[in-house]
């Protein structure tokens, strides 16, 4: 069971706002903590993937829901 430390809902926001909100949230978190993000912007899948790889964070889980993308991210 994974503990979710933060929830971030970026529904309705378009690029680059979901990524900027994710970056800000991760800056305030400790290493190893997790955040669950809900995004409706189709570009968030690519944007988050590239950012997480470059910044050293882990995508623990990804799922699609009707009209939304759900990410579970662990801060590196």
Catalytic status, residue 15: yes
Instruction: Choose, from 8, 15, 43, 72, the residue flagged as catalytic.
Output: 15
Pinpoint the alpha helices (H) of 16-58. 17-27, 44-55
Point out which residues pair with 69 in neighbouring strands. Answer: 39, 64
Active site residues: 15
């Amino acid at each position: 069971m994974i503990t979710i430390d933060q929830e971030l809902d970026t529904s309705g926001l378009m690029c680059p706002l979901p990524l900027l909100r994710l970056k800000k949230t991760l800056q305030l978190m400790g290493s190893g903590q997790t955040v669950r993000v809900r995004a409706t912007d189709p570009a968030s899948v690519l944007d988050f993937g590239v950012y997480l790889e470059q910044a050293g964070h882990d995508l623990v889980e990804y799922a699609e829901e009707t009209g939304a993308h759900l990410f579970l991210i662990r801060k590196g």
